[in-house]
Amino acid sequence: MTELERQQWDVVVVGAGGAGLRAAIEAREAGARTAVICKSLFGKAHTVMAEGGIAASMGNVNPRDNWQVHFRDTMRGGKFLNQWRMAELHAQEAPDRVWELETWGALFDRTGDGKISQRNFGGHEYPRLAHVGDRTGLELIRTLQQKIVSLQQEDERESGDYEARLKVFQECTVTRVLKDGDRVAGAFCYERESGRFFVLEAPAVVLATGGIGKSFKVTSNSWEYTGDGHALALLAGAPLLNMEFVQFHPTGMVWPPSVKGILVTESVRGDGGVLRNSEGRRFMFDYVPDVFKEKYAESEEEGDRWYEDPDGNRRPPELLPRDEVARAINAEVKAGRGSPHGGVFLDVSTRMPAEVIRRRLPSMYHQFKELADVDITAEAMEVGPTCHYVMGGIAVDSDTAAAAGVPGLYAAGEVAGGMHGSNRLGGNSLSDLLVFGRRAGLHAAEYAADLDGRLPAVAEEQIDAAAAEALRPFSAGAPEPDTPPENPYTLHQELQQTMNDLVGIIRREAEMAQALKRLADLRVRARRAGVEGHRQFNPGWHLALDLRNMLLVSECVARSALERTESRGGHTREDNPAMEREWRRINLLCRLADRSASFGPVEPGAPPADPVRGQIDLARKTAAPIRPDLLALFEKEELVKYLAEEELYE
């Protein structure tokens, strides 16, 4: 029996980014005793890195904006694969979530007449992103943290204890969701600094762990994004939805090598930045796909006029959705028209005065000056695609954020699937976090309250198994002591290279099949991932544990990408380049195959891993038809481009 501390809560929120904090606030306000747990320091999450803004159709800059236009843009951006009810709720509720932030103390940039300012972004018909310079995520997190502190102060006044109803466990990692039968019963956790294990018992767990970018070599994501929540859900029995859709942001830094992949915000293009190839050509005009032809400018002159007169002109193609721009950059580089370090040029220096650039894009100015010695007010940046965001995620109920098939499990934010379809529009993540974070917190609290004392119990055997799994890297040599343990850093690098090269921005059948073979091999080796030393201050051990998650999630991405024989949004198949209407209604669901549910050590003489079978079962599921009143928001000619034949008849 493993001796450890056990605490009881009503709701445990895993993740302290925008989704996690918004969920925690809502759960606590609904009366639930709520614990928040996060891998890094409180306040350090991807949300804090978000630059451009929060998409919400407040209509402050162009009064023609409204939720219906936002819904249309989101569905177009996702190529109609979005879980349409989520897209509807998101578009309807985003403005309230932004105004609410303001009442909690957020200070957004203003328009001349004092309203919250909104900027242009790719795929959004009107200026829609509420922003704070290019540091919007920082303000969002600061505001949510401030709200949490104010709730804790309220609790202190009532009970004498700041943490009576809302407590944050920072620098702690969850490695397993614990269950009682089908139901959630809590989370198994360890403190990163001391290595101490503990259990948070709770009938409801909200997963808000963000993305998976660290499975790819070139990425804008930071160290925590190893797909933990995706893997925790799979291991708890919940399916993942449409994992083939990974967003490669068109503009990451490409030079110097130590910073390759770091994000260059889309606000640069939103504020007038243009993309050019080595011949000086504004190449995006050559890459406007048929489905978007009517909405984008045909000449540089028209595109430039749009910044002054958006109602009388069409927008420049630099503001196409991200998947289109990333593919175009990739094609230019491949055709030999790239910049010296394998990207293309992004220029604002010829478009805005230096002091305006420094004011509107302060982080970008400092990022390039300090990391690349480039002054963006005087010269062009070199940029190229970088793995940025995962549209696939935990399959959830649109209204309640409940994960499919596991009572008590909820998911919100980047870890949840469905909202963005095959491609997310910039700015739609921050609003997604607020809208569905709130919903997840509310429904998790209601679920816990409705149990009326019928609480799940955490069995000792589950705790023992979770502890043994977490300790395995310290005895990785056994049961074959002659074979040296594998180095987790080497395995991680090989995994990242595999995903980058074989399941990256442009995909081919043979390469993805090869990726699955390599992943199978890495999986076997990862069971021998070993570390030296103690549980205290041991990042190698943490990585060895994270490898389980990255391997699971990478297999989901590769297997789904192999299955979907079309190109759509963040999934581009060189061997199946067209978007196929029959695939519009097909969702791909990944589940853990039973036989691999335990990650035990390799038995001596065990047969080699079967790359075809792997650890994931894949199934197709037909999506629910889009509600007629929502379809009526589109012109028929447009629907013909997307919907399957039978849907059009319906």
Q: Per-residue DSSP letters for 354-409?
A: HHHHHHH-HHHHHHHHHHH---TTTSPEEEEEEEEEE--EE-B-TTT-BBTT-TTE
Compare residues 15 and 316 and give the one whose CB is closer to ligand FAD.
15
Of 119, 165, 249, 548, which one is the catalytic site residue? 249
Catalytic residue among 165, 269, 443, 559: 269
Q: Which of 423, 404, 396 is closest to 413 using CA atoms? A: 396
Q: Which of 442, 515 has the CB closer to ligand FAD?
A: 442
CB of 437 to ligand FAD, least distance (A): 7
- The radius of gyration of the chain's CA atoms, rounded to the nearest angstrom, is 24
d(CA 465, CA 463) in angstroms, rounded, equals 5
As measured in angstroms, the least distance from the Cβ of 248 to ligand FAD is 13
122 and 322 Cβ atoms separated by less than 8 Å? yes
How far is it between the farthest Cα atoms of the chain?
Answer: 74
Looking at residue 425, the DSSP 8-state letter turns out to be P
Q: Rounded to an integer, what distance in angstroms lies between the CA atom of residue 526 and that of residue 520?
A: 10
Catalytic status, residue 249: yes
Asked if residue 53 lies in contact with residue 127, where contact means CB atoms within 8 angstroms, the answer is no
DSSP 237: T
Contacts of 251 (CB under 8 A, 6+ apart): 263, 264, 265, 266, 268, 269, 325, 329, 346, 381, 383, 384, 385, 386
502 or 557: whose CB is closer to ligand FAD? 557
Minimum gap (Å) between residue 205 Cβ and ligand FAD: 11
Q: Which one, 69 or 416, has the nearer CB to ligand FAD?
A: 416
What are the residues whose beta carbons fall under 8 Å from the beta carbon of 508, sequence distance 6 or more?
A: 573, 574, 575
| Nearest to ligand FAD of 273, 413 (CB atom) | 413
Nearer to ligand FAD, 43 or 530 (CB): 43
Residue 293, Cβ neighbours under 10 Å: how many? 10
Residue 305 annotated in active site: no
**Residue 401 Cβ, how far from ligand FAD at the closest point, in Å?**
12
Shortest distance, CB of residue 640 to ligand FAD, whole angstroms? 31
> How far out from the chain centre does Cα 335 lie?
31
Question: What is the nearest approach in angstroms of ligand FAD to the Cβ of residue 457?
Answer: 23
- Enumerate binding residues for ligand FAD (CB under 6 A): 14-20, 37-40, 45-47, 49-53, 136-137, 173-174, 208-210, 220-221, 224, 228, 263, 389, 413-415, 426-430, 433
Q: How far is the CB of 136 from ligand FAD (least distance, A)?
A: 6
- Give the residue at shortest CB distance from ligand FAD: 17
Return the number of the residue (40 or 576) whose C-beta is nearest ligand FAD: 40
Q: What's the rounded Cα separation, in Å, for the pair 50 and 244?
A: 23
What is each CA distance from 510 to 104, 183, 592, 609, 613, in whole angstroms? Answer: 52, 40, 24, 19, 17
Residues catalogued as catalytic: 249, 269
